[in-house]
Amino acid sequence: MKALSAEDRGWWRHAIGYEIYLRSFLDTNGDGFGDLAGITAKLDYLKWVGVDVIWITPHYPTPDHDHGYDVADYLAVDPRVGDLDAIEHLIEKAHALGLRVFTDVVPNHTSNEHAWFKASVANPTGPYRDYYLWKDAKPDGSPPNNWVQHFGGPAWTLDPGGSGQYYCHLFLPEQPDLNWTNEAVRAEFDAILRFWCDRGVDGFRIDVAAGLMKHPGFADNPRIREVRLEDGPARIFNSFEHRYDLAQVSTVDVYRRWNKVVEPYDAVLLGELGVWDPVQFAHFVEDGTALHMSFALEPGLTPWKVDRLLDCVLGMAEHAGSAVAWEITNHDQHRAPSRLGDGDPIRGRRRALALTTLLVGLDGMFFVYQGEELGLDDGRVTQGGLQDPISVRNPGDHNDGRDGARTPIPWTPGARNGFTSATTPWIDAFDRTDVETVAVQEADPASHLHHYRALLRLRRSWPGLAQDPLLALKRERVDATHQVVTVLRANTLVVANLGLDEAEVAVPGGAWTVAFQSWPLHAPTGQPAAETVPAETTVVLVRTAD
CB-based contact 54:39 (threshold 8 Å): yes
Q: Is 7 a catalytic residue?
A: no
3 state SS of 440: helix
Please count the other Cβ atoms lying within 10 Å of the Cβ belonging to residue 387. Answer: 17
- Among the listed residues 27, 177, 272, 327, the single catalytic one is 272
| Rg for the chain, CA atoms, rounded | 23
* Residue 272 annotated as catalytic: yes
134-135 and 166-168 beta bridge pairing: antiparallel
Residues in the chain: 546
Answer for the pair 320, 278: CB distance below 8 angstroms, yes or no: yes
Distance CA 5, CA 3 (A): 7
Contact 469, 490 (CB under 8 A): yes
Alpha carbons 262 and 206: distance in angstroms, whole number: 13
513 φ, ψ (degrees, to nearest 5): -125, 160
Which of 19, 177, 207, 436 is catalytic? The answer is 207
Residue type, 359: L
Q: Contact at 8 Å (CB) between 31 and 80? A: yes
**DSSP state letter for 138:** P
The secondary structure of residue 447, as a DSSP letter, is S
Distance CA 180, CA 186 (A): 7
Greatest Cα pair distance in the chain: 79
DSSP bridge partners of 19: 55, 369
Residues with a catalytic annotation lie at 207, 272
